[in-house]
Amino acid sequence: LAELAAREHHVVAPLGILALDLKPEVAAALDWLRDSSGVVVAAPAIGPGYRSTDLLPGDIIHRVNGHPVRDLAGLARALAGTSHAMPVVLWLERDGRYSYVVVRRLD
């Protein structure tokens, strides 16, 4: 997945990740996928100002603080509506299982 993500177009700075829209060619590589909408974590964003998060490559982000996320633009809108001081609650799918992950914004 990392090879499909270009830093200048796919970085999600508040989460410290590179992410991709869940297009059919990406979804095809995830045989465990239960929900075909969302944003897939491609890789951690590496470099100054970024640190490790609990998000893993292949995680599919479906919701941010209860708001549905369909694509990168929707993820950006959802994150823009959050406070920098408060953690973000993500509803995600990992290996076919749903879970909540709480992430502190990195910006």
3-class DSSP assignment, residue 102: strand
Enclosing H/E stretch for 41: strand 39-44
Each residue of 48-79: pLDDT tens digit?
Answer: 555 667 889 999 999 999 999 999 999 999 99
Q: What's the rounded Cα separation, in Å, for the pair 43 and 56? A: 7
- Per-residue confidence (pLDDT) for residue 9, from 0 to 100: 66
Residue 89 tokens, joined: 């609650």
At residue 37 the predicted structure's pLDDT band, cuts being 50, 70 and 90, is confident
Instruction: Residue 39: name the closest of 106, 101, 92, 104 by CA.
Output: 92
The overall pTM is greater than 0.85: no
For 52, phi then psi, to 5°, come to: -65, 145
Pairing state of beta strands 97-103 and 88-94?
antiparallel
